[in-house]
């Protein structure tokens, strides 16, 4: 686990229980690639989604968070399953600075391992939550898959509107954050108003998170974020910065996008055009708007220690782009 | 749907409701490839697993089968999800005589569509069964994935024992048949003795089914079963007929298996060696043993119309190899 949770020792302690649950799951029931998958599970993730799930539960019954490790493990294993499949589909060689799972174990094993992880998530969700939440869990996984398919079908099509973009990231990213908050809130026994508030908090954090991710893809250097710059552009994704840059394009940017696959030089020229426009600035404003909405929801939550923690985390997580 | 269920109009009528449920699921919630997936869902499957699920439920409360269409749809959609992923991994160009899903829609869309189908299965299972059965469902999906991985890791390794083979097919095939019977029995409200009897019926049918499938791969001609002959051999699988042929091998058969990938000539020579040995005959006896066990379990079930139907189906399904 990273140092992300260092100043919240309570959450950190519980996340260690979640990690233990994840490792136990992977080593259970004779899974043939347990060793290899343990490497992934124990690698350096921030554990954002399980952390938020546990924090959300604290607005309900005190101490309930201690019983939610299996459900929190389910949502992080789900995240890992989607990363393993994504890396195959994007042909990404690296994940968290290490060779991706499919590179070490083959595509076939990686597809099946992702499938196996899905099954374990549902096993945990159906064993350790209300049937309603198990159903909600499955529903959101469906939304994430649908959104990924829609994104892929729209590749190299650059006439997309901001509205389409927002709908896509709502499905592929915000839905999962929103689920983490909702599961925690419902299982924690929050009242319906607070459940809805926490659900919206998760949604807005997720939206801001994805917009920032898309901004970083246009500006960061590989060393720092361990992710190749311009990956979205090279894959033909139409992210918010690109959409905004295209809005004021004289046709030359669109011209560069005509002939995929793009070589490194073209990608760099496209990124330069995005950086030279107001697109990144405007995208940052969009992220800020979602962040503010999240903070407003948080401010209206009951006055408990978890509220301050949630505010600080949100600021820290989402401030990285401004 | 095929004519397989023609002489059981009650089951056939209910399977039509299951088909409708499957189609509705695929067309629900804005799934982007609904049209393409509908083609698959509505193509010519026997609907064995949902049929058995419904039949098993009839040993409990009468009429309960009418409420089990969503759960029966879940188990068939799960089967379809695994077929879509299998076809990618095996690089199979055809499925049920049509171009495979990944051939028509691309590998990426096929992986994500399989993932989406998994999520819909779990959604149906968690919405339309007891939490215990939803958990059981997820557990079996995990077993199927584990077994597929184990099978893949063991490819081109021919020193395998019969015991290893049986364990592998128990996981990859019998577990799902057994699940279908168990879900039907439990949801139908059967008493615990009959639940166990039906579970074992499913297991034995599944084992016989897979052994027969492996026999057919050595002897059938493509036209009839729409599956290329020698597929298992070409993929380096060590099926029962091959294990048994290797048991009496003077070293020459093992020699042919030394240098994969095999060309068509080598595959045909390997198949010929299997056919010339007693391996197919002995495999048939093994399948017959499982079939007899299934029929013995069925004979001990309560005397209801479903019992005769189940016996007839089992004989028809499993008799194809003797």
Q: What is the pLDDT of residues B263-280, one digit of tens each?
A: 999 999 999 999 999 999
Instruction: Express as a percent the part of chain B with pLDDT over 90.
Output: 77
Name, in order, each residue with C-beta under 8 angstroms of A318's C-beta and a sequence gap of 6 or more: A205, A208, A209, A212, A287, A290, A291, A294
CA-to-CA distance for A310 and A55, rounded, in angstroms? 7
More confident residue, A214 or B97: A214
pLDDT single digits (tens) B162-209: 999 999 999 999 999 999 999 999 999 999 999 999 999 999 999 999
Distance of CA A223 to the CA centre of its chain: 21
Report the candidate in B217, B309, B275 with the shortest Cα–Cα distance to residue B14: B309
Three-state SS sequence of chain B: CCHHHCCCHHHHHHHHHHHHHHHHHHCCCCCCCHHHHHHHHCCCCCCHHHHHHHHHHCCCCCCHHHHCHHHHHHHHHHHHHHHHHHHHHCCCCEECCEECHHHHHCHHHHHHHHHHHHHHHHHHHHHCCCHHHHHHHHHHHHHHHHHHHHHHHCCCCCCCCHHHHHHHHHHHHHHHHHHHHHHHHHHHCCCHHHHHHHHHHHHHHHHHHHHHHHHHHHHCCHHHHCCCCCHHHHCCCCCHHHHHHHHCCCCHHHHHCCCCCCCHHHHHHHHHHHHHCCHHHHHHHHHHHHHHHHHHHHHCCCCCHHHHHHHHHHHHHHHHHC
Angle of helix B240-247 relative to helix B192-219, nearest 10 degrees? 60
Please give the residue of chain A at the shortest CA–CA distance from B109. Answer: A149
CB pairs under 8 A between A and B: 139
CA distance, residue B303 to nearest chain A CA (Å): 35
Q: What are phi and psi of B98, to 5 degrees?
A: -115, 160
The predicted structure's pLDDT at residue B322: 47
Q: Considering only CA atoms, give the Rg of chain A.
A: 20
CA distance linking residue A120 with residue A149, whole number of Å: 23
DSSP class of A174: I
Report ipTM for this prediction: 0.90
Interface with A, mutate which of B89, B118, B172 (most A CBs under 10 A):
B118
Q: Flag if A146 and B114 touch (Cβ within 8 Å).
A: no
Q: CB–CB of A122 and B122 under 8 A?
A: yes
Q: Which parts of A3-139 are beta strand (E)?
A: 94-95, 98-99
Verify whether the Cβ–Cβ distance B116 to A85 is below 8 Å. Answer: no
Is the CA virtual torsion A288, A289, A294, A298 positive or negative? positive
Query: Is the CB of residue B34 less than 8 Å away from at least one CB of chain A?
Result: no
Question: Hey, is the C-beta of B189 within 8 angstroms of any chain A C-beta?
Answer: no
Say what the pLDDT of residue A316 is.
87
Domain range for A235:
3-321
pLDDT, one tens digit per residue, over B114-172 is 999 999 999 999 999 999 999 999 999 999 999 999 999 999 988 778 999 999 999 99
A255 CB-near residues (< 8 Å, 6+ apart): none
Instruction: Give A-chain residues touching B114 at CB under 8 angstroms.
Output: 115
Of B89, B116, B139, the CB nearest to A146: B116
Q: Residue B222: its pLDDT value, please?
A: 53
Nearest CA in chain B to A149: B109
* Tens digit of each residue's pLDDT (9 = 90 or more) over B3-57: 788 888 989 999 999 999 999 999 987 899 999 999 898 886 889 999 999 999 9
Domain count, chain A: 1
Q: Which residues of chain A does B78 touch, with a Cβ-Cβ cutoff of 8 Å?
A: none
d(CA A51, CA A2): 12
Lowest-pLDDT range of A120-124, B225-229, B289-293:
B225-229
Nearest chain A Cα distance for residue B37, angstroms:
13
Beta-carbon neighbour count of residue B251 at 10 Å? Answer: 7
Three-state DSSP state, A32 = coil
Q: Specify the CATH number for the domain of residue B207.
A: 1.10.600.10
| Length in residues, chain B | 322
Q: In this predicted structure, what is the pLDDT of residue A44?
A: 65
A31 Cα to chain B: minimum distance (Å): 6
Dihedral angle computed from the Cα positions of residues A51, A83, A42 and A78, in that order, rounded to the nearest 10 degrees: 50
Contact A148/B at CB under 8 A = yes
pLDDT at B89: 87
Give, for all 322 residues of chain A, the pLDDT tens digit.
Answer: 567 888 889 899 999 999 999 999 999 878 999 999 998 988 868 899 999 999 999 999 988 889 999 999 999 999 999 999 989 988 888 888 889 999 999 999 999 999 999 999 999 999 999 999 999 999 999 999 999 999 999 999 987 789 999 999 999 999 999 999 999 999 999 999 999 999 999 999 999 999 999 999 998 665 554 456 898 999 999 999 999 999 989 999 999 999 999 999 999 999 999 999 999 999 999 999 999 999 999 999 999 999 999 999 999 888 764 4
Judged by a CB distance cut-off of 8 A, whether residue A70 touches chain B is no
pLDDT at res. A322: 47
Assign A93 to helix, strand or coil.
coil
The alpha carbon of residue B134 is apart from the nearest alpha carbon of chain A, in Å, by 6
pLDDT of residue B38: 93
What is the mean pLDDT of the segment spanning B253-267?
93
Helices and strands per DSSP (H, E), number in chain A: 17, 2
């Amino acid at each position: 686990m990273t140092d992300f949770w260092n100043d919240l020792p309570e959450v950190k302690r519980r996340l260690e229980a979640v990690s233990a649950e994840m490792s136990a799951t992977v080593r259970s029931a004779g899974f043939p690639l347990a060793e290899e998958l343990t490497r992934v599970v124990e690698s350096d993730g921030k554990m954002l989604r399980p952390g938020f799930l546990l924090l959300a539960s604290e607005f309900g019954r005190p101490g309930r968070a201690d019983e939610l490790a299996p459900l929190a493990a389910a949502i992080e294993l789900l995240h890992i399953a989607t990363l393993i499949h994504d890396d195959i589909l994007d042909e990404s060689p690296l994940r968290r600075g290490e060779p991706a799972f499919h590179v070490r174990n083959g595509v076939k094993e990686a597809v099946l391992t992702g499938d196996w992880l899905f099954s374990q998530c549902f096993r945990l969700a159906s064993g350790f939550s209300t049937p309603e939440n198990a159903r909600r869990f499955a529903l959101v996984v469906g939304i994430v898959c649908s959104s990924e398919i829609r994104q892929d079908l729209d590749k190299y099509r650059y006439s997309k509107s901001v509205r389409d973009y927002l709908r896509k990231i709502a499905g592929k990213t915000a839905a999962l954050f929103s689920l983490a908050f909702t599961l925690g809130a419902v299982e924690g026994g929050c009242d319906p108003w607070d459940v809805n508030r926490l659900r919206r908090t998760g949604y807005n954090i997720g939206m801001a998170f994805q917009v920032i991710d898309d901004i970083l893809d246009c500006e960061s250097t590989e060393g720092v974020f361990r992710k190749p710059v311009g990956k979205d552009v090279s894959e033909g994704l139409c992210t918010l910065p690109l959409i905004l840059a295209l809005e004021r394009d004289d046709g030359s940017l669109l011209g560069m996008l005509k002939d995929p696959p793009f070589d490194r030089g073209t990608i760099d020229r496209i990124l330069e055009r995005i950086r030279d426009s107001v697109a990144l600035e405007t995208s940052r404003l969009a992220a800020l708007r979602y962040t503010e909405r999240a903070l407003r929801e948080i401010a209206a939550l009951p006055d408990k220690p978890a509220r301050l923690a949630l505010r600080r985390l949100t600021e820290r997580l989402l401030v990285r782009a401004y």
